[in-house]
């Protein structure tokens, strides 16, 4: 057993610490920013070995043990690591995001504060027809003349809605009621804290060809964070989970 008087130093990942507070742009006005984290690859190994004592450490290297845990779905050691992110995203992305109910969330409140006039306008590559084979997906690109009309309409409607929203507030209407006319492409912000096991599941589901593009680009950024934060986990995750999923599609 460990000496109870032993001082425990906070885990620090030098290659990841420099990313704290840095803004990673996503979409046209969105971002992801790392606020804090707890644990690293070694924290997972420590948790996995705690019931066996120090004896097993000589027989397996950290990367090998992590690979074994990942391959065999021994998930609880991965819950020893956590990360807290500051995220700015369109409201419709946030509603998809919050389907992952395994995190602690605090979102910007339009009851207390006035929303900024930041709204998502997709670029031309996202102006596609409704898929004929999938009711919740996009299909072929629309003609260029139609694409321009679509983008102009999204911009003008978004601007009009926000102007009317501000007008209602200026008239004295409560913010909690005025916000009801805000469109779903308006940006919101949240603090999102999640353990590594559930973060891996988020990335696996949302950085998938089946996920909507606008949430997939956020998952891609988070996947980059994983590579810097927990490189052994990232390598094993890509080999046994992400690549395995690609073979099934």
Q: Which residues are catalytic?
A: 206
Instruction: Please answer whether residues 139 and 132 qualify as being in contact, where contact means their C-beta atoms are separated by less than 8 angstroms.
Output: yes
Neighbours of 35 (CB within 10 A): 13
Which two three-digit tokens encode residue 18? 């420099």
* Closest C-alpha to 85, from 23, 145, 127, 146: 23
Q: How far apart are CA 196 and CA 63, in angstroms?
A: 16
Q: What are the beta bridge partners of residue 183?
A: none
Alpha-helix residue ranges (DSSP H) falling in the chain: 14-17, 41-49, 62-71, 91-97, 144-170, 175-178, 196-206, 213-229, 231-237, 243-248
The DSSP call for residue 80 is G
Tokens of 65: 């043990």
State CA 246 to chain mean position distance. Answer: 20
Structure tokens at 8: 């425990």
Pair 151, 65: CB distance under 8 Å: no
Please tell me the distance from the alpha carbon of residue 81 to that of residue 83, in angstroms, as a whole number. 7
């Amino acid at each position: 057993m460990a000496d109870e008087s032993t001082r425990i130093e906070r885990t620090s990942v030098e290659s990841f610490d420099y990313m704290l507070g840095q803004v990673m742009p996503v979409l046209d006005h969105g971002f992801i920013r790392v606020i804090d984290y707890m644990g690293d690859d070694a924290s997972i190994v420590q948790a996995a070995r705690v019931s066996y004592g120090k004896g097993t450490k000589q027989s397996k290297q950290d990367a090998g043990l992590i690979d074994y845990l990942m391959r065999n779905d021994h998930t609880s050691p991965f819950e020893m690591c956590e990360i807290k992110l500051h995220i700015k995203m369109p409201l419709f992305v946030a509603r998809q995001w919050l389907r992952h109910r395994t995190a602690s969330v605090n979102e910007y409140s339009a009851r207390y504060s006035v929303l900024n006039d930041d709204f998502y306008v997709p670029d031309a590559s996202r102006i596609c027809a409704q898929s004929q084979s999938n009711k919740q997906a996009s299909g072929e690109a629309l003609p260029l003349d139609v694409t321009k009309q679509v983008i102009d309409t999204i911009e003008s409607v978004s601007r009009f809605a926000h102007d009317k929203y501000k007008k209602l507030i200026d008239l004295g209407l409560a913010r909690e009621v005025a916000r009801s006319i805000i469109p779903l492409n308006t940006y919101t912000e949240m603090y999102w804290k999640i353990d590594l096991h559930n973060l891996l599941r988020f990335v696996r589901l949302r950085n998938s060809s089946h996920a909507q593009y606008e949430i997939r680009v956020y998952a891609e950024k988070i996947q980059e964070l994983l590579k810097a934060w927990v490189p052994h986990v990232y390598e094993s995750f890509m080999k046994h989970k992400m690549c395995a999923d690609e073979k099934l599609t």
